[in-house]
Amino acid sequence: MASKRSVSTKLTGSRTSTKPLNVSQTLTDVIPDDVFLTKRGLALKWRVVLLTCAATILLGITAAIISYIVVNNILQRDLQLELERNIGIIQNNLSTPGGNNENSGATSAGVINQLYAPTGLLNQDAYGPLPAEWLVSTSEDGSGAINQEFGNMPIKAVFAPVKLPTGIALTAVSFKSTQYIFDILRQLARALIATSLILALISSIIGYFVATHALRPISRLSDNAAQLDPNNLQGLPYIGPDDEIGRLHTVLNVLIERLRDAMEQQIAFLAEASHELRTPLTSMKGFLERAQRKLPEGSSQEIDDAVRISHSMSGVVADLLQLSRGEVIREYEPFLVDVGEEILDAVASEFPGVRYLGLQGSRMNQDFDNPEGLILGDPNRLKQATRNIVNNAIRACDGDETQVSLSFRETAEHVILHIEDTGKGMPDDVLNKIFDKFYKGQNGGAGLGLAIVKQIVNQHGGYIEVESSLGEGTSFDIFLPALKA
């Protein structure tokens, strides 16, 4: 048989499994993507962490911008006041008779004082005169302030008119480099950026723990809900306050209870209907067989067809009865069973063309402590499960029994029954539904055979995996717990 693709059902549907969910699985691990109405994305916990981090970064950037503007305004204002005070001192000294006329040079605070006459700079210093157009005032008192680039140095200058006691009008200028303001703002920006990054990291850590703690009840609720299946519709446990999560838990439990009641009614109806149909069908089949014996052979094709149909209907009713009873009564009487001889070889002998290949693989160098091919189980139920799969396989091969083979292999934990055919294979949409009750595939049938197989295997504590490729065939692997020595 050509090799099959071995990929997840959620991707292509070429493989499916009846293995029960475990606690580490979530509903999104087993429910097809097209069931969900929204696109897949990050888990809620990580979305909360990212939103917290993004909010912290946004607040940090906003605070940094505001701090930058406020500090810049404060420094510029303080420098403006310092220069204005300095101009006031110069005006007072020069306009007062006998005042101090020493008004050139740099102050200790880095302020440069200059005096301008209509002819130009009076006190020559290392900085040279400021451009005359900078000292043009628009105010009534002739004072003003400028921010310019002077000698490759950013400066802030304040100027005002000064009248000497002799009546001569001068212009006093005080200016200072603003480079220190830019240096302070640059250091402040670096500190604010580093603080924002640290706050983002801290907020991410805090957000993770807060989100984990806040969402833990939802995670527990999800894990408990993931354990639900048609055979385990129990109320979900929840310990917590009566908040949104508590109300969600209450609603889910109400829905589960209603679903359980509906399924129990369905099972009871199925069992009762099957039982009520069985008696008249058995009587009808007996009457038809008696009529068939009384008529000459081949004289009534209609009676022969009726007998055949009655046998088919009896089989369907028997399957329905067993399926319903199996869902109500999950106990069975276990026996020591050799899966090779008592199950697979016995079923293969019922179909002349089906091949039994025995044990596949070697037990040498394997750490197995279980006897070869032995399990605890009900041989009749296991043969029925195998027979149902073989019947489906033969139909998939258009009745050619030689395309079907049986074998088994072993692991430390399981004995695996393998039923393989080289028939038509199954498309993805069929493969995902073959174990559903009353689902009829391409080859017909009542839609009960594989549902019964799943029920029998589950009762034995096992599960089934199926692989299929169109035009290449299908294989069933029944995993049953191995008998430990």
Q: Domain 232-328: which CATH class?
A: mainly alpha
Helix (H) or strand (E) holding 160: strand 154-163
* Count of positions (residues) in the chain: 485
Asked if 33 contacts 428 with a C-beta cutoff of 8 angstroms, the reply is no
pTM of the model: 0.47
Give the Cα-Cα-Cα angle 221, 30, 327 (nearest 5 degrees).
80
Asked if 338 contacts 373 with a C-beta cutoff of 8 angstroms, the reply is yes
DSSP structural state of residue 231: T
410-433 confidence digits (pLDDT tens): 888 899 999 999 988 888 878 888
Concatenated DSSP letters of 305-320: HHHHHHHHHHHHHHHH
How many CA atoms are closer than 13 Å to the CA of 436, on its beta-carbon side? 9
Would you say residue 200 has pLDDT above 90?
Answer: no
For residue 160, which phi and psi values (nearest 5 degrees)? -160, 150
Place of tokens 């499916």: 16
Percent of the chain surpassing pLDDT 90: 17
In sequence order, what are the residues at sequence separation of 6 or more whose Cβ sits closer than 8 angstroms to the Cβ of residue 69?
A: none
Q: Where are the domains of the chain?
A: 15-20+331-481, 232-328
Please tell me the least confidently modeled range out of 360-364, 373-377, 385-389, 472-476.
Answer: 360-364
CA distances from 339 to 19, 224, 316, 347, 373 (A): 20, 35, 27, 11, 6
User: Per DSSP, what are the bridge partners of residue 478?
Assistant: 417, 464
pLDDT band at residue 26 using 50, 70 and 90 as cut-offs? very low
CATH number of 15-20+331-481: 3.30.565.10
Please tell me the least confidently modeled range out of 23-27, 168-172, 261-265.
Answer: 23-27
Give me the pLDDT at residue 184, please.
Answer: 92
User: Phi/psi zone of residue 467: left (φ > 0), alpha (ψ -120 to 50 degrees), beta?
Assistant: beta
pLDDT band at residue 168 using 50, 70 and 90 as cut-offs? confident
**Would the CATH topology of 15-20+331-481 be identical to that of 232-328?**
no
48-80 confidence digits (pLDDT tens): 888 888 888 888 888 889 989 999 999 999 999
Residue 111 CB: number of other CB atoms within 10 A?
19
How many CA atoms are closer than 13 Å to the CA of 130, on its beta-carbon side? 29
**Tokens coding 399:** 């009745």
Asked if 461 contacts 481 with a C-beta cutoff of 8 angstroms, the reply is yes
Would you say residue 37 has pLDDT above 50?
Answer: no
Q: How far apart are CA 1 and CA 47, in angstroms?
A: 47
121-146 confidence digits (pLDDT tens): 888 777 888 898 898 888 888 899 99
Give me the pLDDT at residue 316, please.
Answer: 63
Give me the pLDDT at residue 215, please.
Answer: 79
Give me the pLDDT at residue 405, please.
Answer: 93
Dihedral angle of Cα 94, 99, 105, 106, to the nearest 10 degrees: -90
